[in-house]
């Protein structure tokens, strides 16, 4: 049975009508015409974006972004990390260089991320060297996060349970980004106090909707994962302005007002990332 699109309020193209939003997870260095994207986001009520690193280069960009875009009417904060998708191309020397950079600069970031495990990658489909390397790199970044007292932004595709167990063992705060895993894992991660983030995939993904339906508003952040290309009505590269539509779909799915959904997502992002309180 085809998933029916969620309602999005008329006139939302003009923004949140006095409300505010934070895109809690994007990869700004990959966006074309970034300044125009950020201006569009600001015009729709987006007041901040957290840009996540996936290797040393993008992590360096994330740390520098805060001072580069202040004049655009939107604040940018940086998370730094080594993504499991980056490991194969980097090789052992590149991995060590990236991890050394992350460890040295962790104190400047709002979080360690995007980090985690991905068992759907060809080299990690079976329990062998590919998975061992991912777990080794993730474990080191969890140790960095704990030492620096930073939360982690977790990529957990196909490795939901293993990610949860490693985060629990590390005793760090965690956001399970774009979580679409099993409900039994969701129940456990919520019991541990962790958060999940919602994306434009709410438009078509039953798994993602089920997660958000079963998560209290107090644990949901809104994100775009820009510039990922979604299906459904958003069949194009996402940009931070689209987080407004994510908030609207959360409101529709949870059957609450737009104001309530926006307030929760905003405050949850501020709290999780320890962003300036004046953003609220």
* Tens digit of each residue's pLDDT (9 = 90 or more) over 23-33: 999 999 999 99
pLDDT at residue 5, rounded to an integer: 67
Domains and CATH numbers, the chain: 20-279 (3.20.20.140)
* Tens digit of each residue's pLDDT (9 = 90 or more) over 52-97: 999 999 999 999 998 888 889 899 999 999 999 999 889 899 999 9
* Model pTM score: 0.94
> At a CB cut-off of 8 Å and minimum separation 6, what does 240 contact?
23, 26, 28, 37, 38, 40, 41, 46, 49, 74, 224, 226
Q: In the block, which residue shows the tokens 């490795």?
A: 159
């Amino acid at each position: 049975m085809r998933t029916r699109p969620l309602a999005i309020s008329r006139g939302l193209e003009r923004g949140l009508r006095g409300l505010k939003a934070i895109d809690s997870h994007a990869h700004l260095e990959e966006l074309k015409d970034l300044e125009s994207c950020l201006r569009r986001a600001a015009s729709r009520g987006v007041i901040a974006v957290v840009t996540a690193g996936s290797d040393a280069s993008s992590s360096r960009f994330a740390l520098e972004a805060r001072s580069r875009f202040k004049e655009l009417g939107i604040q940018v904060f940086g998370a730094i990390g080594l993504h499991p998708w980056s490991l194969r191309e980097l090789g052992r020397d590149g991995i060590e260089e990236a991890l050394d950079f992350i460890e040295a600069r962790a104190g400047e970031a709002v979080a360690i991320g995007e980090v985690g495990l991905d068992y759907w990658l060809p080299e990690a489909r079976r329990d062998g060297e590919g998975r061992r390397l991912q777990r080794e790199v993730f474990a080191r970044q969890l140790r960095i996060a704990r030492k620096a007292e930073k939360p982690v932004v977790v990529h957990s595709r196909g490795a939901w349970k293993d990610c949860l167990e490693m985060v629990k063992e590390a005793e760090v705060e965690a956001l399970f980004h774009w979580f679409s895993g099993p409900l039994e894992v969701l129940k456990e991660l919520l019991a541990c106090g962790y958060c999940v983030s919602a994306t434009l995939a709410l438009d078509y993904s039953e798994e993602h909707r089920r997660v958000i339906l079963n998560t209290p508003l107090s644990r949901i952040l809104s994100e775009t994962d820009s510039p990922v290309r979604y299906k459904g009505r958003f069949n194009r590269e996402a940009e931070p302005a689209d987080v407004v539509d994510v908030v609207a779909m959360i409101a529709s799915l949870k059957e609450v007002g737009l104001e309530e959904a926006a307030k929760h997502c905003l405050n949850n992002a501020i709290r999780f990332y320890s962003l300036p309180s004046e953003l609220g």
